[in-house]
């Protein structure tokens, strides 16, 4: 049986007559009758009994119809899947992120994405950069946002924005009372520093070392949010990324801008051998916009930058 024969047979079974089947398929009634007779000759069985102008299906016809309906359900499923791909529905996106992008940027981007694609499902996990690389390369994740560079030939990396370095000072810190707070004094004061696992560790440590000072370490942490929390106790100051600063409640901290401080990229990362789905592309586009909105929000910034 070819597809046209299947279509005509199903129409006759559904309507009970060649006339109605012809109307359903927008063809002539004689053409339907000829095709049914040809199909019966081809199969070598009688598919219909003619009774008072009606076609009554035989047992063989009903058995054939049951198999054809299975095929039609499969075809409908394929059509549904195609529609879901087009509109981003019933699709799962696996998102990874570094610690600081996981605080607000990724959750806000997920919320906006699900608002745009209500039936979409997002699996989200914050991991160390080495784990992000591993899962993207093995195609166990679709896309990642990272505040640290990820180095692997299988990864495609694009900059979606930048983060800014700030100094987190306990409220009432002596530097805030100076007319021109000194960056040199901040660098040599008691500091909260980062362990190597922190995504921003390498860039901040390199920046501190470029000033040729010996660090006076009070505490070591694994995230910018933890650095803010320790600094808020008054025990030390911390140099933090503005993503972590925005996620920390402002109680007990004042942030000082740093004259000449560099900004650093925030990356969207994917496997270059696995093209992103429409949902993944939309996520990266949304993340760019959400980063702009997030960084436009206010922070308790001192009117005296470190110089």
Flag whether 118 is in a domain: yes
Flag whether 101 is in a domain: yes
- CB of 224 closer than 8 Å to CB of 244: yes
Q: Along the 307 residues of the chain, how does pLDDT read in single tens digits?
A: 888 888 888 888 888 889 888 888 889 999 999 999 998 899 999 998 888 777 889 999 899 988 888 887 777 667 656 655 555 555 789 999 999 999 999 999 999 999 999 888 999 999 988 899 999 999 999 999 999 888 899 999 999 999 999 999 888 888 888 888 888 888 888 999 988 877 677 788 888 888 888 888 999 998 899 999 999 998 999 999 999 999 987 778 889 998 888 788 999 999 999 889 889 999 999 999 999 999 988 788 888 888 8
Shared domain for 170 and 249, answered yes or no, is: yes
Shared domain for 259 and 169, answered yes or no, is: yes
Give me the number of domains the chain comprises.
Answer: 3
Shared domain for 153 and 271, answered yes or no, is: yes
Shared domain for 63 and 123, answered yes or no, is: no
Flag whether 302 is in a domain: no
Q: For residue 8, what is the domain's CATH number?
A: 1.10.10.10
Q: Name the nearest CA neighbour of 218 among 257, 210, 226, 163.
A: 226
Hunting for tokens 């699709």 — which residue is that? 91
Shared domain for 240 and 177, answered yes or no, is: yes
- The domain containing residue 71 runs over which residues? 3-87
Angstrom distance (rounded) from CA 3 to CA 10: 11
Interior angle at CA 55, CA 33 and CA 3, nearest 5:
50
Shared domain for 254 and 179, answered yes or no, is: yes
**Strand (E) positions, the chain?**
48-51, 54-57, 92-97, 121-126, 143-146, 155-170, 190-194, 216-221, 237-241, 253-256, 263-271
Whether the full predicted model's pTM is greater than 0.95, yes or no, is: no
């Amino acid at each position: 049986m070819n597809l046209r024969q299947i279509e005509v047979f199903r129409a006759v079974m559904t309507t009970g007559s060649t006339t109605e089947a012809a109307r359903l398929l927008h063809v002539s009634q004689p053409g339907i009758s000829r095709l049914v007779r040809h199909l019966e000759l081809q199969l070598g069985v009688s598919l219909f009994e003619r009774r008072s102008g009606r076609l009554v299906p035989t047992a063989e016809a009903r058995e054939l119809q049951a198999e054809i309906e299975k095929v039609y359900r499969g075809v409908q499923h394929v059509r549904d899947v195609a529609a879901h791909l087009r509109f981003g529905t019933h699709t799962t996106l696996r998102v990874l992120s570094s610690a600081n992008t996981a605080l607000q940027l990724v959750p806000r981007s997920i919320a906006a994405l699900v608002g745009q694609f209500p039936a979409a499902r997002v699996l989200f996990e914050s991991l160390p950069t080495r784990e992000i690389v591993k899962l993207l390369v093995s195609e166990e994740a679709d896309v990642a946002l990272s505040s640290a560079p990820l180095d692997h030939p299988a990864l495609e990396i694009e900059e979606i924005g930048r983060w800014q370095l700030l100094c987190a000072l306990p409220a009432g810190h002596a530097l805030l009372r100076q007319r021109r707070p000194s960056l040199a004094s901040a660098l040599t004061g008691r500091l909260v520093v980062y362990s190597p696992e922190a995504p921003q560790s390498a860039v901040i440590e390199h920046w501190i070392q470029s000033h040729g000072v010996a660090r006076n370490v009070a505490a070591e942490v694994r995230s910018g949010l933890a650095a803010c929390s320790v600094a808020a106790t008054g025990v030390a100051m911390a140099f933090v990324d503005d993503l972590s600063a925005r996620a920390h409640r402002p109680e007990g901290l004042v942030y000082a801008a740093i004259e000449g401080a560099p900004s650093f990229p925030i990356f969207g990362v994917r496997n270059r051998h696995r093209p992103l789905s429409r949902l993944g592309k939309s996520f990266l586009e949304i993340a760019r916009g959400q980063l702009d909105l997030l960084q436009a929000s206010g922070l308790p910034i001192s009117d005296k930058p470190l110089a």
